[in-house]
Amino acid sequence: MTWANDLEGFRQKAEVIAAELEMYVAGVEGAEPLTERAQKNTLSEEIDDMMLRAESNPNAIIYGTFHQYLFDEA
């Protein structure tokens, strides 16, 4: 979770944290403004916690579950 104006801004911030973890972003799925997600679904406790942490720091990049895939450069 992070503050972003659009999907590209979100992806750029996701790439920052991925690089810190020596990873890269293969794709972004299901990204949407939190207000839209909250209208459609009940937010989990994990998402609620991430939201509270992000609200107080607009530069934060907060992550919960993510998936790792093996990468073969060949």
Check residue 8 and give its pLDDT: 92
Section 32-60 average pLDDT: 86
Question: pLDDT band at residue 11, thresholds of 50, 70 and 90?
Answer: very high
The mean predicted confidence, pLDDT, of the chain is 84
- Is the full-model pTM beyond 0.85? no
Q: Is the pLDDT of residue 66 over 80?
A: no
Kindly list the domain boundaries of the chain, sorted by start residue: 1-74
Task: Please state whether 7 falls in left (phi above 0), alpha (psi between -120 and 50) or beta.
Answer: alpha
What's the average model confidence in pLDDT over 50-58? 86
Residue 41 dihedral angles phi and psi, to the nearest 5°: -140, 160
Q: How many helices (H) and strands (E) in the chain?
A: 3, 0
